[in-house]
Structure 1
Amino acid sequence: MSLIIAFVTGATAVLETITHKRAALLPNEIRANGFAALDGIEPVVTAFDTNRSKNLNDLLQWLDWRNASGVILLADDSLPDLVAYLGDQFNVHRFTPPAYGTRMDNQLTSTLSKCLKAYKYLASRFADAKYQQIFRLPLRNFDAPDIARMRELCRDMTQRNYGNEIDALLRDMRKRQAPKRASDYQDIYYVDDSGKHFQFGHEHHALADTAMPPHNALCIIGNCLRFGQRFDGTTHYNVSRDKGASMKGTYLDCHGSCRLHQKHSHINMFTNNFF
């Protein structure tokens, strides 16, 4: 698998430069020693021409996300809804196309350098199991203001002090963990403001539905990529309440629709909110 880095732009000069330069635009520190900075994973630098289509579904069909270890999107203003629409699944950054007459390749390399540094930092946290189960929480069903904060921090990361802010978020989220000392207990869960307990399960007895229809591409992508990081979509969360209280009720599914859970028992809920 490769790391896909896709510019989403209608700027002709940017499109031409990427077509001719591609991987040569990557910073030297990334290309050195067989891409050692990325653990040997070679990035694929490409571009989607928004002059040909401004349809986000066309972008998803074009993007080779199924074969990617990670996905970084760098988008200009030609697809204004992209960050909001795809920011939970991919590592999305806004960029301003360099003006004509500038050293286009140098400017793009500088942009790539900043985005890759941010991506690497997030990847290092995501690879840690105790943090990954925070990043992977079902965003529609974990009721807490920290979720909105996490979604904001993991989008357009180069515009903020992402390292300090992400680490502060993770510290705050771990205050929701019970029991408090993970090393002493096998069953660790995170408690939202509605009293729901989200325990990351390592069992594989349930699988998220992938039939299209009724599901769409975002349902599928949302259960294998979060903030541009690939994860094992065969694992899920066991969602329950304290003292075995009933879980019967309505919850948001992977389409964003309310769906009834008719049993009193816990819910098997996946990262994309499918249950």
Structure 2
Amino acid sequence: MRAGWREAALNHGWTYRDKVPPADAGTLVSDWLADRYRHSNGVVWQQRIAAGELDWNGVLLTGDRVLQGGETLGWRRPPWLEEAIPDQWETIHDDGDLLVINKPSGLPVMPGGGFLRHTLTALLEPTGARPVHRLGRFTSGLQVCARTPHTRALWSKQFRPNGGCRKVYQAWSRRVPGLELGQCLTLSRDVVERPHPLLGWIWGPEPLDDAPIRKRLSAHSELELLERTAEGDRLQVTITTGRPHQIRIHLAQLGSPLLGDPLYLPHREISAIATPGDGGYRLHAWRLVADGLALESSLPPDWGIP
């Protein structure tokens, strides 16, 4: 294993619990879970029930049965192998409470997407610090953490839309038509929740067709072209709203998704086989201005090579 990386390792498993809405009464447990967790079909859930991995209101579920509505289902997921992760970073600011690091690409911030212990949250446990917000796994750069609930709450407010926090990123994207060196482009377009075959619903750009939209959030981004190469554009992207995957979605909305983005595709399409945690794109949280602090993180060593 190369220096600065933690080897792939088994965790201790995890128990997922779900409260069944009364409206879902009459559905088989296996069918309900297959709809709730799109990664596994009803047959797989029946196998898990037979293996003794499910409980019903805290009691072992010995066979598939019809839901009554209102019960709590628990899935005791057996230990699984978590991928290797980078586990070293540069500290940008630490006053004993507020901690800001330069997160490496590939390190998940919080549990999810197959990660439980191989996360920044778990690595920070000995320090008492916890993340205030969440950069994407493959987004590098400024990640704000704090040791006290009071400071986490204060900074969480800063990161809300129009909370006063100014976040500046660098990104490599496909060429942005009409944008020239030194020019700026303002985007004020909603990010919307669209259907996804693996996840049920996912945030993305507004579709070109009449696909259903469950929810929408206003979002604001400002682009500036820093460099243009044959492979793509290096952009400075400033945001104040911080919606889910906002920069990836806004660039896809323009028809210029991030280089290597496996999820957000040209023509506002979303891959049916990729998820937000899949990597390949180049996005770095570069500068941050908030609460009297102005912070900057160094770019990854290979940043100038698209």
Same structural fold, with TM-score higher than 0.5 when normalized by the shorter chain? no
Between structure 1 and structure 2, the one with the greater Rg is: 2
Give the structure-1-normalised TM-score: 0.27
Write 1 or 2 for the structure with the bigger share of strand: 2
Taking structure 2 as the reference length, what is the TM-score of the superposition?
A: 0.25
